[in-house]
Structure 1
Amino acid sequence: MSINKQKTPNTLTHNLSHIDAKGDVHMVDVSHKTASQRQATAQGRVIFPQAVYQQIKDNDGMSKKGSIIQTAHIAGIMAGKRTHELIPLCHPLPLDGINLTFDYQDDSHSIQVTATVKVTHKTGVEMEALTAVSVACLTLYDMTKALSHDIIISDIQLLQKTGGKSDYQL
């Protein structure tokens, strides 16, 4: 049963890999592709009020709940590994590695989160990198919301991807 399905696919739907010629949603078939090493890097930022940022930095990320950075780091890794459970048409991937970094940015009162994900497979890991960053940023928010709700999660974006049909660099 289709709800609000387009009867006549337009140019946009012909260019979307998860929409077939009839306008139906499907998981992309990668069985014909050759496995290769693929990597993606994504980044996001959590912006704090100046006083809150300084408090976090002065305490080296330690709060009553524990280390906000270590908790966000673990959450980001877990999220990257479970992306296929969160994004309906993503393939489950045997990830080779996920690396997250957290950098204090004094000029913008923010913590910049970067995730790089690697896999040797038939499809890329852009969504895994973006998911890892997103959940790490959400975890930073959750760990610090008792200090302020004036926290902004911003600039979540793909920075680069390599492997597969084409490479991308922001």
Structure 2
Amino acid sequence: MNNGMTHFDQDGQAHMVDVAGKRETQRVARASGYIQMNPATLGLIASGTAKKGDVLGIARIAAIQASKRTSELIPLCHPLYLTRVAVEFHLDHQNNMVECITTAETFGRTGVEIEALTATSIALLTIYDMCKAVDRGMIINDIRLLEKKGGRSGHWRAPEESQS
């Protein structure tokens, strides 16, 4: 019995979901997450004076690369032709955090939620990597799906209180 889990067959064996019978539609997913740090670390990022260079620029490129390689990282994930990946960063000086919001889009038979979540995760890990020499105590948290559109399940949005 698979208990509604799509990546397991009726015998409980893992398998890649067959999407051949699904209709191709425009699919969009948005994900977000935060990395909290010391005020001085956020200052280095904001001023562009981190020793390793443009932290947010490199994190943006890493996120886009990661979204394109998601199927190589996540077992049973379909490789997708992405039509757009956008990565935004918001600096929160009051809480010493950088928020990352990633949007992934495709026209296809399966959604792009995992690509958006992977991109967000890798962007935040890249920020950590680039700043760890000055702040090993950074905390990555609250990585989540904000919204998805397209396909049979239609439009889903996270409850308002959990949105940024």
Q: What TM-score bracket applies, with the shorter chain setting the length? A: over 0.9
- 2:37 matched to 1:45? no
1:140 matched residue in structure 2: 127
- Alpha-carbon distance between aligned partners in 2 of 1:93 and 1:129, rounded to the nearest angstrom: 12
Shift of residue 148, structure 1, vs aligned partner: 1.1
1:30 matched residue in structure 2: 19
Alignment of 1:96-135 (within 5 A): 96-135=83-122
- 2:49 matched to 1:83? no
1:15 is paired with a residue of what secondary structure? coil
- Greater C-alpha radius of gyration: 1
Q: Deviations over 1:37-82 (max 9, x none)?
A: 000000010100123223332x2x3322110011100000000000
The amino acid across from 2:16 in the alignment is M
Q: Which of 122, 132, 144 is equivalent to 1:157?
A: 144
- Alpha-carbon distance between aligned partners in 2 of 1:108 and 1:115, rounded to the nearest angstrom: 20
Q: TM-score of the superposition, structure 2-length normalised?
A: 0.93
1:169 matched residue in structure 2: 157
The amino acid across from 1:47 in the alignment is Q
Number of corresponding residues: 157
- Alpha-carbon distance between aligned partners in 2 of 1:53 and 1:115, rounded to the nearest angstrom: 20
Q: TM-score of the superposition, structure 1-length normalised?
A: 0.89
Aligned identity (percent) is 43
Q: Deviations over 1:62-107 (max 9, x none)?
A: 3221100111000000000000000011100000000000110112
Q: Which runs of 5+ in 2 are unaligned?
A: 159-164
1:96 is paired with a residue of what secondary structure? strand
Q: Deviations over 1:101-152 (max 9, x none)?
A: 0110112101100000000000000000000000000000000001111100
Q: Which runs of 5+ in 1 are unaligned?
A: 1-8
The amino acid across from 1:90 in the alignment is C
Please say if residues 114 and 133 of structure 1, whose CA atoms lie closer than 8 Å, have aligned partners that are also in contact: yes
Which ranges of 4 or more aligned residues in structure 1 deviate by more than 4 Å? none
Shift of residue 164, structure 1, vs aligned partner: 0.7
Please say if residues 14 and 20 of structure 1, whose CA atoms lie closer than 8 Å, have aligned partners that are also in contact: no
